Chains A and B, each alone.
Chain A
Amino acid sequence: MLLAATEYVRPASLEEALAALAGTAGARVLAGGQTLINVLKHRAAAVELLVDISRLEELRFIEVASDGSARIGAATTYLELERSAPLRAVAPTIGEVAAGTVDRQVRARGTIGGNACFADPASNYPPLLFALEASMEIAGPAGTRSVPAGEFFLGLYRTAVGAGELLRSITLPPLDGAGVGYRSLQLAADSWSIARAVAWVRCAAGEPRTIEAARVVLGCVAGAPVRASATEALLSGGAASEEAVSAAASLASEGLEPPSDVHASGSYRREMAAVMAKRALLDAIGGAA
């Protein structure tokens, strides 16, 4: 509960933040702190310098373009995401996920960037950003580089953000009529997820409805979110029917060895990931144009 001694700085700009990160080994970005402060309380990591970016306007914004794409600053809070009407119009799932995150105290301070960079298997945003094929903009001493979400989440607590860098923004491509489904099996209401699946589906025009393309990403089954490729392959070009979805979803977690922990066994996680995949797909189909 009592933190170890540490240093703190609140840079006035992104440039200053990067300089601070580069200047001290063992420096960490502090945004909302809704995860990092717990880490510090339990002395699970030694942090020499906390670089507080939570008030940087450069990192805290929501921009929605006329083409339906959106760019979100990494330090934007869950509350801001939940309340943004423009964002809801182009990417409703982002705000819905924010609204269901933990509790309102956490939502007032926690950020999408913090969630993405923590990269816990149970973190809310990684599988969603992966399924939406978001672009993760990483700022560093040499400038800003863009990494697709699918290459950003590398494993347990590991992302593509390197030493001296920080995540500055996330760009979401336009949905263009695709539907998105997001389903979690949780320990309790708005609590830890045991299995999670996010589906993105584009349907082709015409009757009966068919699936033009589908992406299914599973969370809580491995260190990083996992694409359910076998499921996607089976769905692509096929009927957008419950039967077809069930058949495809049953393959979703094949070959996976999810961990067992105090909340659930690996085998239950594996089976539930497939159930969540099915439900997320049906939701996505329901929401697709």
Chain B
Amino acid sequence: MATEGSAVHAIEVTVNGVPHSVAVPARRLLVHFIRETLGLRGTHIGCDTGNCGACSVICDGQLIKSCMMLAVQADGCEVETIESLGDGPDGLDPIQEAFKEHHGLQCGYCTPGIVLNAKTLLAENPHPSEAEIRRALKGNICRCTGYVNIVASIEAAAAGAGSVTP
């Protein structure tokens, strides 16, 4: 059995605007790197086959599942997690405000992945139809909301209905 020391790689990855130079074992998943090595707990793990999307983050502008990527593969990449949203520790950004207004979350476990999904969707398609929203959300499972209010929240965010936090 190979020991950890023999397969460690130096990577440079920028997370939420902060550059990190770290050595990671080849086998470490990006989601574990984010959660355990960097201590960013907002990215969650909900399954073991890349189906649930709770681990979704933005990597070089694309929404990806961080449990389906090795940390070493993020070398040279720019990663954004849920912690990058909102104006500082007390703020919510307009998408987050829309979710709060429209009860787009219940237990909150899928929420970070869903909010990042919404962010990347609206960046590409500022006025998506309901069908397009549902299509975009396909890779993020929610067990609490039945998706209805998630869709409503994203529609509201698209319409600019989320209010700015004072």
Query: A: which residues have CB within 8 A of B?
Result: 1-8, 10, 30, 33-34, 37-38, 40-42, 50, 52, 54, 79, 102-106, 108-109, 189-190
Q: How far is the CA of A105 from the CA of B4 in the complex (A)?
A: 29
Query: Is the beta-carbon distance between A3 and B27 smaller than 8 angstroms?
Result: yes
Could you tell me if B63 and A108 are in contact, using CB atoms closer than 8 angstroms? Answer: yes
**Contact with A104, one of B7, B45, B136 (Cβ below 8 angstroms):** B136
In the complex formed, the residue of B with least CB distance to A79 is B62
A-B contact pairs, 9 of them (CB 8 A): A4-B2, A7-B6, A7-B7, A37-B68, A104-B136, A105-B63, A105-B139, A106-B139, A109-B62
B26 touches A6 (CB 8 A): yes
Q: CB < 8 Å: which of A6, A33, A102 contacts B73?
A: A33
Total A-B Cβ pairs within 8 A? 96
B56 at the interface (CB under 8 A from A): yes
Asked, given contacts A6-B7, A41-B48, whether A109 binds B64 with beta carbons under 8 Å apart, the answer is yes
A104–B63 CB distance below 8 A? yes
A38-B50, A102-B139, A108-B63 known; A5 and B2 CB under 8 Å? yes
Q: Which chain A residues lie closer than 8 Å to B67 at the CB level? A: 1, 37, 41
Residue of A nearest to B57 (CB): A105
Interface residues of B (CB under 8 A from A): 1-4, 6-7, 9, 25-29, 45, 48-50, 53, 56, 62-65, 67-70, 72-73, 75, 117, 135-136, 138-140
CB-CB nearest 3 A-B residue pairs: A103-B139, A8-B26, A5-B2
Indicate if the CB atoms of B70 and A33 lie closer than 8 Å. yes
Chain A contacts for B64, CB-based, 8 A: 105, 108-109
Distance (whole angstroms) from the CB of A72 to the closest CB of chain B: 19
Complex: A178 Cα to B67 Cα, angstroms? 41
Say whether B4 contacts A5, CB under 8 Å.
yes
* Given A5-B25, A7-B26, A105-B63: A34 touches B68 (CB 8 Å cut-off): yes
Please indicate the chain B residues that have their CB under 8 angstroms from the CB of A108 in the complex: 62-64
CA distance A8 to B24 in the complex (A): 11
Name the A residues within 8 Å of B25 (CB-CB).
5
Residues of B within 8 A of A3 (CB): 27-29
